[in-house]
Amino acid sequence: EDQVTQSPEALRLQEGESSSLNCSYTVSGLRGLFWYRQDPGKGPEFLFTLYSAGEEKEKERLKATLTKKESFLHITAPKPEDSATYLCAVAGDTGFQKLVFGTGTRLLVSP
């Protein structure tokens, strides 16, 4: 059974304090790993797709990396507006339509 575990569950940072979020996964036949951002009361918002080990994607202060067992979301010099829950999901042999999500990391960035 495909599984995604995210850590830590919650993270508090000071503005400008860089850190990383972890997504460990077990999946049969990885087709893609996805990162989403979710604000309270909103639906998830797409950030990145990674397809193979060694791949990296960047967007503003965020950089996602992928190995054969885990993905990291690196946040460089975060700002309060980066506060959100970050979700990781994988697509395996069952197809892209059946994403398996982790429970997320709640990030709070204080000014």
| Amino acid letter, 99 | L
Q: Shortest gap between Cβ of 75 and other proteins (angstroms)?
A: 20
Among positions 13, 27, 89, 107, the unique one binding other proteins when judged by CB under 8 A: 89
- Regarding 4 and contact with other proteins (CB under 8 A), the answer is yes
Tell me if 45 contacts other proteins by CB under 8 A.
yes
Judged by CB under 8 A, the residue of 26, 31, 72, 106 near other proteins is: 31
Q: Among candidates 101, 71, 88, 91, which has minimal Cα distance to 27?
A: 91
* Site for other proteins contains 72 (CB under 8 A): no
The label of the residue with tokens 């999946």 reads 27
Return the sign of the alpha-carbon dihedral for residues 40, 66, 33, 23. negative
Nearer to other proteins, 96 or 108 (CB): 96
CB within 8 A of 28, min separation 6: which ones?
Answer: 2, 92, 93
Binding segment (CB under 8 A) for other proteins, from list 11-19, 53-61, 68-76, 83-91: 83-91
Six-digit token string for 64: 């996602």
> Measured from the CB of residue 89, what is the shortest distance to other proteins in angstroms?
7
Q: What is the largest CA-CA distance in the chain?
A: 43
